[in-house]
Structure 1
């Protein structure tokens, strides 16, 4: 009965149409805090993220002061009574869709203290806009803002400020693809044609977990690159083996790159994973070109040798006296044949060292740049 009598007495003369201090110069100071329940649907394709939270507000309304009796330190107000009390017109600026939970009843809470302090909390789930920069994908870190402001009152009537801490994560809140960083709160009062409005914001850092990409994209790429180097150790005459190996590695690295592209939003700029895939494809392609160069060099020499041998036989039949000179030419030809084979093997030996060194240098530059 004590609570009922106090509420009836307060609300008998209370007018919710006007905010506290409406006729005073001092604005109503409203402290805001977000208690985040879950973070989900961080979508790079739509540039949005969704969170569910308890949105807490706290202010002082002197019209709700009451005397403490029988150790009554606070009054918890039902949702129906909440409708009879003035509430701040807090609005989200960057949301695309927001709804208030009403199962099984509207999820709201209000507590009134003897000095007129009002604590108001409601459960909100919303989808917010976040313009993401994927230049360093999958090593990117997104900073997504959530901004709130008064929609109908200027800062001479209502002043919003963050409680400290501004954002509190519920224990155990995690995301499958991102780590939740330390939020950074700020004030961002806005000036419109109708006046100056109190506005506050908080930046939520989302740090992408890249372990999945290391296992599914980077590690297979390294193995495929190393597999392409096997051709440098095969004999020059092993044409089917080297060609099959080259085609296999090119197709595999292309498939691996296409899979990585499908894992994120297609953008018009170059990402870290695009650089990796491009360099890996170039290295595998160069390994194929290297063998093509070696193979063509040997075959051109063999055709020349065949042509010279045929002409030598005709000359030998027509001119017996030139037999000694032809033998000298054949010896010279055999020396040239050996030289060509040695040259081809030398190219393979150089490639055995050159390709791993180039790939090692690229890895040093790549990982130092994107991981520091």
Structure 2
């Protein structure tokens, strides 16, 4: 019984080992790579997967036959077509990293795609394994290229992360596709008349550096020449549009095709609202508090107005320190200078009120120092004569002089003479400019403060309507569909 069990177990183990061996050979046969240079002819199944056939030429064999001068006579210095080349260009915008007003430039990362047809690079007759070949950028140095560049860039370089970011593809019909991932610093001639509610248009110009229009004709791709790969968020600007345009530019050596990319940015002025405009509102409103302090607090009112003017000046300098030194007036300049004018006007009002208050106090003091009208000035130099008819006391009625004196004159006329004399003394103390600029003596300082407390806010409100209506309207009316700068407002 034990012997039969051992034979049964041995038979089972032998069958298991045989099955394991067969399965291992099957797995090994599926992982064997096809022999080198004997891949397959390109084809695709119903799912789009590449199907291979034996006997096709590998990429490196095709390239060696195409660019080897001894075998094919390829010369990269010779135009592929004697009647001229047509190069199609399109751009992928990857990111816009910064815009600077002080240096007037911007930085952008983008992909430049160029396509042209080189009949000498056709390889469909060489039985290739694929309809196109993705090749290393070192091969590009052996091919003819249009030698394009951004002629107005301040700085440009191809990304090296971790290798040179150049893509090269050659199709079996001789079409060549190159792709460069480039970081650019381009100029941006800013017009800041409407700052910070401005719209800026910055551009990059792309052309062939070596070939004029008779040799290389550069055009934008027919469909979507400019694409934005991702969101381009900037702290100060919003990218509202990207335009593509082309023109022929004349040089001493002929005409060149220039392809221009225009970036249209609209400034985000929220930061300037919170850091510039709202503090200015508060400073101007604080300067109006002096109108309600009265004429007895002139030192406090003076300190309040001077501090408001200093704060406004500091705020203005803090904003314009980050801007280029342009010679024209900006919107922020008009706002700040107008705010300083309102504060300065409140100081002038304080000076007028202080002067009139001083005159009023002096006038009251003069009245207190002047003798009563009972001792009229016409009697000040009259000596007392006991034999005179005026020796008798004049009768009083209700503490007032009788209308008639013993001399027969009117006592009311005497009182009028007394007041005329006081006014003459007051006029002699007035400044010289009062003779040329008449000032009403009945202008009360408190009345001027009350009028200023009404007129200053009303005038400031009207100024706000004009200011914001003008500049916001100009910002909305700017044409963002044209590559050239259209200035409709100053």
- TM-score, normalised to structure 1's length? 0.89
Asked if 1:287 corresponds to 2:343, the answer is no
Q: Which has the larger radius of gyration?
A: 2
In 1, are the aligned partners of 2:62 and 2:128 still within 8 Å (CA)? no
Instruction: Please state if 1:154 is matched with 2:212.
Output: yes
Q: 2:144 aligns with which of 67, 86, 90?
A: 86
Aligned counterpart, 2:132: 74
Q: Report the count of equivalent residues.
A: 364
Work out whether 1:143 is the aligned partner of 2:201: yes
Q: State the alpha-carbon separation in 2 of the partners of residues 270 and 41 from structure 1.
A: 25
Q: Provide the rounded CA distance (Å) in 1 between the counterparts of 2:110 and 2:161.
A: 15
Alignment-derived partner of residue 44 in structure 2: none
TM normalised by structure 2 equals 0.69
Residue 6 of structure 1: aligned partner: 62
CA RMSD of aligned residues (A): 2.8
Deviation of the 1:87 alpha carbon: 1.3
Q: Which residue of 2 aligns with 1:343?
A: 444
Tell me the residue number matched to 2:329: 270
Query: How is 1:94-243 mapped onto 2 (pairs within 5 angstroms)?
Result: 94-163=152-221, 164-243=223-302
**Distance change in 2, residues 1:340/1:233 (3 Å):** farther
Question: Mean Cα displacement is larger for which, 359-368 or 190-199?
Answer: 190-199
Q: Distance in 2 between matches of 1:4 and 1:284?
A: 79
Q: What is the rounded CA distance, in whole Å, between the counterparts of 1:221 and 1:345 in structure 2?
A: 27
Q: Does the 8 A contact of 2:98 with 2:107 survive in 1?
A: yes
Separation in structure 2 between the aligned mates of residue 174 and residue 33 of structure 1, nearest angstrom: 22
Deviation of 1:312 (Å): 2.3
Gaps of 5+ in 1: none
Contact 1:298–1:341, Cα closer than 8 Å, also in 2: no
Query: Greater shift after overlay, 27-36 or 139-148?
Result: 27-36
How far 1:262 sits from its partner (Å)?
Answer: 1.1
**SS state of the match for residue 444, structure 2?**
helix
* Residue 20 of structure 2: aligned partner: none
The one of the two structures with greater contact order (alpha-carbon pairs below 8 A, sep at least 6) is 1
2:462 paired with 1:352: no
Q: Is the 8 A contact 2:101 2:322 kept in 1?
A: no
1:327, CA displacement in angstroms? 8.6
Change (3 A) 1:57 1:187: same
The one of 99, 103, 106 equivalent to 1:49 is: 106
* Structure (1/2) with the larger strand percentage: 1
Structure-2 residue corresponding to 1:37: 94
Q: Distance in 2 between matches of 1:232 and 1:367?
A: 27
